[in-house]
Amino acid sequence: MINRFAATVAAEIISNKKVGAYHHIVFEVGEIAAQARPGNFVAISVGGENSSMVLRRAFAIHRSMDRGASGGVVELVVAPHGGGSKWLTGLPVHSKVSLTGPLGTSFGIPTEPVRALLVGGGYGSAPLFGLAEVLKSRGCRVDMVLGASSAGKIYAPIEGKRAVSSLTITTDDGSAGFHGKVSDFLPRIIEENQIEIIYSCGPMGMLEAISQIADAHNLVHQCAVEESMACGIGVCMTCVLPMRGDDGVVRMERSCIKGPVVDGESVIWNTKGSIPEGTWGR
Amino acid sequence: MNFDFSTSLAHAAFKNPIFTASGCAGSGKELAQFFPLHELGAIVTKSIMLKPRSGRATPRMAETPSGMLNSIGLQGPGIDIFLEKDIPWLLDQGANIIVSIAGETVEDYAILAQRLRGVPGISALEVNISCPNVENRGQVFSCDPITAQAAISAVKHNIDSQIPIIAKLSPDVTDIAAIAEVCRTAGADAFALINTLLGMVIDINTMRPKLAGKTGGLSGPAIRPVAVRAIYQVRSRIPDAVILGMGGVTHGRDALELVLAGASGISIGTATFGNPNAAITIKNELEALLIERGFTTFTEAVGYAHREEN
C-alpha cells in the first residue's frame, strides 16, 4: 500500500548550505527517515503560519539516514525557483517546518548485481546518490551521467561520487564536462559499460529522450517524473500523466502515487496540453 | 464536559459536522493512510458521472494567493466501478457516505439517481449542478433557475425518498438565494454552499492561460468570505434551510464562521491538499471553540449569527 509509512512531522532544519545554484538542507524528521527509500519524496508547507501559499512543495529525498535514538534525518536539494522554495532555502538552522513523507513509489532495486546507469538532469541528480549507495551495497556497478544547462546547475557532491564507478558531466553551454545534452552521450556509455538498467530523474523532456534510448537498447528504464502537484498524496488529481497499464489501457494516472518512480516504457510522453487518443474515459 | 457534536442534514444524522469536500478525498483510500475515515462525520465522494472520464489535459492546477485554481474535468471511474469498488470499501471502513453525482444532461442526473436507488449505506446525495449542461451550450446547470430545477427534479423523482438531496450551488450567480429557492421547490432537502468560483491565471512568460482548460475553479481561504456570505444569505431568505458549508475552511475558527452563518455541516477541501490531516485538526479545533463559547450542543451554534439583537 502506497504511503503506508507517511506521516506529518515538525521537522527541524539542522543544516542549510548553498551548493552551486542549489541549497542542501538537512531535516531532523524522527522515525520516518527509516522508512524512506530512494525515489520517495516529501511535501513541505511553506511561508510560515500565515502564508498565502496554501499548497505544500514536493521535493525528492536526496538521502535519508536512520540514526536510531538520535533521530532520523532526510536531506534535500532545493532550487530556489519560486516563492515557496526561496522561503525554504532562506530559513536559518533550528527553524521547524511541517513535513509529510515519505511519499510515493521508490526505485526498484534488482535482486541480482547488475550494471546500472544513473542519469540526472539539474537538481534531478539529488535522489540518485542515495540510490547509487544502495545499488553499490548490493554489488551493482554504478555509472552516472549528470547534465544541466551550465556548470553551476550540476549537483554532484564529492561524497556522493564515492558510490559510482564513473561520472560523466554534460552541460548545454559547455561550461563543464562534455558540451551537449545527456542523451547525446548515453548510447556510447550504455555500450561501453554494458549497461543493463537505467535509472533517471530530471525534466520531462530529458526523461522522454532517455526512454527512447532505453527502448532502442531494450533496457529497463525507471524514471522519477515531475508533474506539478497540489496535494502529493493522491487526492487532488492535478499531477496526472497518461500511462499504459499492464492491461494495455492508457489511463490518466496520478504521478504522486503511481510515481514519482515509474517504468519509462509505460509513459505516453510529450502529450502536454492534450489527452492521447484512446485514453480510458476520453 | 458533555458536548454533543452530532449534527444532521435533513433526516440524515452524523456523529460530527466535519466532512470531506467532494473531489478532495480521492476514493477515500488515499486519506485513510493518514487517519481512520470513520472519525469524520462523512466522506463526500468525488462527483460521479455515468461513464469513466479521463478528465482534462494538464496543467490542471495553478496556485493563487491564498488559494488555487483547478481544472480536473471530473476525472473518475463512472458509476459502475464506483458502486462495485468504492462504496463497499468505504462501508468497510465504517465511514458515513455522501455520494456526489454530476451529469451533462438532465437525463444523466435521472439515470444516476436510479442507479443509486436501493444502494445500502448512503447517508445523503449531493447533486453537483455546477457543471456544464451539454444540451444548453455548456451553460452551468446551477447558474440558470430552469436547468437547476430540472436537474434537482430529475433526481428527486428517481432516488429513494429517505435519502436527503443536497443541491450543490455555484456562487457565480447574481442571487444565490433565488437559485436555492428554486431547488427547494424542485425537491432539494439541503444545499451545499459553495462550489468553486470560476477564475483564470495567465502565465506572463508564455502569455497564455496557464491551465489547459483555460479557466479553473478557485478554492482555498481566498473564497471563504464568499462562502460565509452565501450561507448567510440563503439562511436569511430560507430560515429553515439546511446547509452543508464549504469554501476555504482551513482552521477551526473558519469552520465556526460558516456554522454561525448557518451551516449544519462543514466540508474540508483545499486544506486537505496542504495538510492530509487538516479535517481532523479542524474538527478538534471547532469542538474546542464551541465549548469555549458556552455551547453544549453543536446545533445551537448553527445560524447563531442570525439571532436578534438584545
Pick among A4, A32, A99, A231 to test the B interface (most B CBs inside 10 A): A231
Nearest CA in chain B to A241: B58
Residue B139 covered by a domain: yes
* pLDDT, tens only, B10-54: 999 999 999 999 999 999 999 999 999 999 999 999 999 999 999
pLDDT at B142: 93
Supply the ipTM of this predicted assembly: 0.94
Mean pLDDT of chain B: 96
Range of the domain at A47: 7-103
Indicate if A249 and A198 belong to the same structural domain. Answer: yes
Indicate if A221 and A130 belong to the same structural domain. Answer: yes
Residue A275 covered by a domain: no
For residue A26 the three cell numbers come to 538537512
pLDDT at A271: 85
Residue A281 covered by a domain: no
CATH number at residue A77: 2.40.30.10
CATH number at residue A148: 3.40.50.80
Determine whether the interchain pair B61/A240 forms a contact, defined as Cβ–Cβ distance below 8 Å: no
Indicate if A181 and A221 belong to the same structural domain. Answer: yes
pLDDT at B191: 98
Nearest CA in chain B to A4: B33
For residue B232 the three cell numbers come to 448567510
3-state helix, strand, coil in chain A (%, to 5): 25, 35, 45
Residues in chain A whose Cβ is within 8 Å of chain B: 1-4, 6-8, 45, 52-56, 98, 100, 227-231, 233-241, 251-252, 257, 271-275, 279-282
Strands A96-103 and A41-44: antiparallel
Chain B: give the shortest CA distance to residue A144, in Å.
Answer: 31
Provide the pLDDT confidence category of residue B309 given band limits of 50, 70 and 90. confident
Pick among B47, B60, B79 to test the A interface (most A CBs inside 10 A): B60
**Total domains, chain B:** 1
pLDDT at A233: 96
Indicate if A153 and A88 belong to the same structural domain. Answer: no
Cβ of residue B56 closer than 8 Å to a chain A Cβ: yes
Determine whether the interchain pair A235/B24 forms a contact, defined as Cβ–Cβ distance below 8 Å: yes
Residue B302 covered by a domain: yes
Indicate if A121 and A256 belong to the same structural domain. Answer: yes
Question: Of B51, B54, B72, which has the smallest distance from its Cβ to A238's Cβ?
Answer: B72
Last residue of a domain, one of A70, A103, A136: A103
**Total domains, chain A:** 2
Nearest CA in chain A to B71: A238
Nearest CA in chain B to A3: B33
Provide φ and ψ at B245, rounded to 5°. Answer: -95, 150
Determine whether the interchain pair B57/A54 forms a contact, defined as Cβ–Cβ distance below 8 Å: no
Residue B158 covered by a domain: yes
Contacts of B49 (CB under 8 A, 6+ apart): B74, B76, B78, B79, B101, B102, B103, B104, B108, B112
Indicate if A84 and A192 belong to the same structural domain. Answer: no
Question: How many angstroms separate the Cα of A48 from the Cα of each of A56, A61, A226, B28, B165?
Answer: 11, 22, 25, 29, 40
pLDDT at A227: 84
Residue A110 covered by a domain: no
Determine whether the interchain pair B273/A56 forms a contact, defined as Cβ–Cβ distance below 8 Å: yes
pLDDT greater than 70 at residue B102: yes
Which residues from B are below 8 Å from A258, CB to CB? none
Residue A187 covered by a domain: yes
Indicate if A22 and A134 belong to the same structural domain. Answer: no
Indicate if A36 and A149 belong to the same structural domain. Answer: no
> B265-281 in b/e burial notation, b at 16+ Cβ within 10 A?
bbbbbbbbbbbbebbbb
Structural contact between residues B286 and B252, judged by C-beta atoms closer than 8 angstroms: yes
Provide the pLDDT confidence category of residue B135 given band limits of 50, 70 and 90. confident
Cβ of residue B114 closer than 8 Å to a chain A Cβ: no
Q: What angle do CA A168, A170, A171 make, to 5 degrees?
A: 155
Provide the pLDDT confidence category of residue B1 given band limits of 50, 70 and 90. low
Helix ranges, chain B (H): 29-32, 79-81, 87-92, 106-116, 145-156, 176-186, 224-237, 252-261, 270-274, 278-292, 298-301
Q: Is B183 a catalytic residue?
A: no
pLDDT greater than 80 at residue B68: yes
3-state helix, strand, coil in chain B (%, to 5): 35, 25, 40
Which residues from B are below 8 Å from A257, CB to CB? 30
CATH number at residue B49: 3.20.20.70
- C-alpha A118 chain-centroid distance: 11
Using CA atoms, how far apart are residues A123 and B64, in angstroms rounded to an integer? 25
Determine whether the interchain pair A235/B26 forms a contact, defined as Cβ–Cβ distance below 8 Å: yes
pLDDT at B177: 97
pLDDT greater than 90 at residue B269: yes
Residue B189 covered by a domain: yes
Cβ of residue B274 closer than 8 Å to a chain A Cβ: yes
Residue A25 bridge partners (DSSP): A16, A76
Residue A271 covered by a domain: no
Cβ of residue B61 closer than 8 Å to a chain A Cβ: yes
Cβ of residue B35 closer than 8 Å to a chain A Cβ: no
pLDDT at B139: 87
Using CA atoms, how far apart are residues B45 and B116, in angstroms rounded to an integer? 13
Residue A14 covered by a domain: yes
Determine whether the interchain pair B70/A257 forms a contact, defined as Cβ–Cβ distance below 8 Å: no
Question: Of B24, B57, B221, which has the smallest distance from its Cβ to A274's Cβ?
Answer: B57
Helix ranges, chain A (H): 32-35, 83-89, 126-137, 182-192, 204-216
In the predicted model, what is the mean pLDDT of residues B91-98? Answer: 97
Identify the segments of chain A with pLDDT beneath 70.
Answer: none
pLDDT greater than 90 at residue B272: yes
Range of the domain at B100: 7-306
pLDDT at A28: 97
Indicate if A74 and A211 belong to the same structural domain. Answer: no
Residue B2 covered by a domain: no
Indicate if A90 and A210 belong to the same structural domain. Answer: no
Provide φ and ψ at A69, rounded to 5°. Answer: -65, -30
Indicate if A89 and A187 belong to the same structural domain. Answer: no
